[in-house]
Structure 1
Amino acid sequence: MAEFSVIERILFIKKNILNRAVFTDIKGILFNEVNVRGKFSDSYLLLNFTTAVNCINESKSIKANFEFFSTLVLDKSKIPMDVDGFFLKDWDKYGGFFCIVNEKLKDTLLTLEKAKEFLIFDRIECE
């Protein structure tokens, strides 16, 4: 089983590589256990956020038909400061959420085994 998996922008982490103690100072997340059907010795934990926010700067963001033509700019005043990660809502035209993490959560995730080989973080402009 792979250490990580992403389905629909949701991060799954193999349970045996996750040390929950490193996440004790992280606010706004939950880990939900996900059992994989079949004969597997391990399960995954779903990294889940407790908050969904629309903090899009509508005047500076450009939403195109294709994601790579789009430009997302967040409104700094609408970003919740009491959480280290959240779901961004109302950006995906089909109602999907984007995962937004701050530097603290990013650095914590990158301490996980093989995370630097798998996880990719895009920088988002905030004004």
Structure 2
Amino acid sequence: MNLDLVVIDDDAVVLFLHKVLIKKSKLPSNVLDFLHAREALEFLSNHPPTKPLLILLDINMPQCTGWEFLEQVARLPKADKIYVVMVTSSINESDRKRAAGFPQVIGFREKPLSKQDCEDIYIKLLPLLNS
């Protein structure tokens, strides 16, 4: 799969767990991870995606929430190459509805991800990357 992958979560244990699960799935195993969404935004601003990019994004983070991150991502060059799956502990239905309002968001999963979640994300991406 010709895809880059970024994981953003303010919990180092969750980042580690998600990277382990990703490596056991069909998703690309070359993962960049960020504890702070602002750092990820800075990275993306300086390195616009050259190929499709999947971002696994937490919502509730200090300094820059997942929502603020999504608002900024929409303004980035090549935002159309960016796909986001919200990965959160929130079970609030209003968060799901809000996430659906962002064009880059292709999914919403509860933390922590499972291997099956990774496989489901992979399957969802296939037609998007082949269109």
Q: TM-score range by the shorter chain?
A: under 0.3
Considering fraction of residues, name the structure with more helix: 2
- Normalising by structure 1, report the TM-score: 0.24
Considering fraction of residues, name the structure with more strand: 1
- Normalising by structure 2, report the TM-score: 0.23
Which has the larger Rg?
1
